[in-house]
Amino acid sequence: MTKQETIQYPINNNIANIQTLLLHLKRKGKSKSYQKISRLYLTKLAKKANLDLTEQVEDAISDLQVSNTTKRFYCTVYTNYCKLFKIIWEKPTYTIEPKGIQPPTNEKIQILIASTRSIKLQLEIDTMAQTGLRPIEIAGQKGLTPNCIHPDQNTITATSTKGCNPRPPMKITNQLMTKIQTYITINKINPNTPIFTGANFSQQFIKYKKRLAKRLNDPSIATIRLYDLRHAYITKQLIKIQNTEIVRQIVGHKQLNTTQKYLHLLTTNTGEWIVESTTDQKRADELLLQDFTYILTTPDGYMKFRKPK
């Protein structure tokens, strides 16, 4: 007889095993949020199934009134449990319906940046909007450190994540660079220490956007997802550079077809441009925020910018 046919563990034994798994995840360096959600999901399953009986667990996951995306994460958490306790399990497949990509307008992004009272959240949102970095590349233990910040060139170099190739330095405005440097100085952050720690970036953003939407009586703000800031950046880069492979390298996509998903968002460019010139650095920063692309600086000191009409 198989283990599943002969062994029936009580709920208390499941809870003890969950605690063992959490200790294992901690030793493996998993984040506190990952440990917390693992405990939450497995405890919910343990109330409906014996965690050592995979068929019961599969039925429990299937009956959950949640999205397929959430069910897939339940499966991921349970897979960790199976691996630790050497339980053979073939993880079921839950198909995820593709979400449409509709980046927010630059106006909406600037409202998000300007309206928050949290300096940390403001810097995180602004950095993501200007660099297209993923949330995990900005905040938390794998996020930016002072060593990633290059004030002399106004650039940020991200730590590679998700198996991506090294990313090129990404330009940010003088204003954002100054704010980041001030934040590092005030908080006395060491060169190799993450800059943005504490409150979870994603969770803080969700709470903030809902409050802001209610305060401004603008429901559209509540629909903006954190990753939409990255989507907006990628779309802007495709418009500016007009080369999908170069954009793929900049944003860190593993596959070219991932970058190509954004092509349908591009408006047809007739070859006409809006061109501006300035010698004022503040105005230059404003133009960059308005999606202008820097071209060159003339011998008499004028900085040239352009963007498609």
For residue 309, the model assigns a pLDDT of 64
For residue 100, the model assigns a pLDDT of 60
- Residue 171 pairs with which residues in a beta bridge? 155
DSSP conformation class of 206: H
CA 298, CA 283: separation in Å to the nearest integer? 16
CA distances from 147 to 68, 155, 189, 194, 285 (A): 39, 11, 11, 9, 23
Average pLDDT for 191-215: 93
Q: Which pLDDT tens digit goes with each residue over 139-194?
A: 998 899 999 999 999 999 987 665 566 778 999 999 999 999 999 999 999 999 99
Q: Which one is predicted more confidently, 8 or 299?
A: 299
CA distances from 60 to 2, 66, 85 (A): 21, 12, 19
What value does the mean pLDDT of the chain take? 85
Backbone angles phi, psi at 254, to 5 degrees: -75, -40
Q: pTM of the full predicted structure?
A: 0.62
For residue 2, the model assigns a pLDDT of 44
What confidence tier does 94 reach under pLDDT thresholds 50, 70, 90? confident
Residue 251, both tokens: 């944003």
Q: Which one is predicted more confidently, 136 or 239?
A: 136
CA 228, CA 117: separation in Å to the nearest integer? 21
Average pLDDT for 93-98: 68
Q: Which pLDDT tens digit goes with each residue over 279-289?
A: 888 888 888 87
Domain locations in the chain as residue ranges:
3-84, 106-265, 273-308
8 A C-beta contact, residue 17 and residue 81: yes
Q: Which pLDDT tens digit goes with each residue over 120-147?
A: 999 999 999 999 999 989 999 889 999 9
Class (C level, CATH) for 106-265: mainly alpha
For residue 6, the model assigns a pLDDT of 42
Q: Which pLDDT tens digit goes with each residue over 220-237?
A: 999 999 999 999 998 888
For residue 145, the model assigns a pLDDT of 95
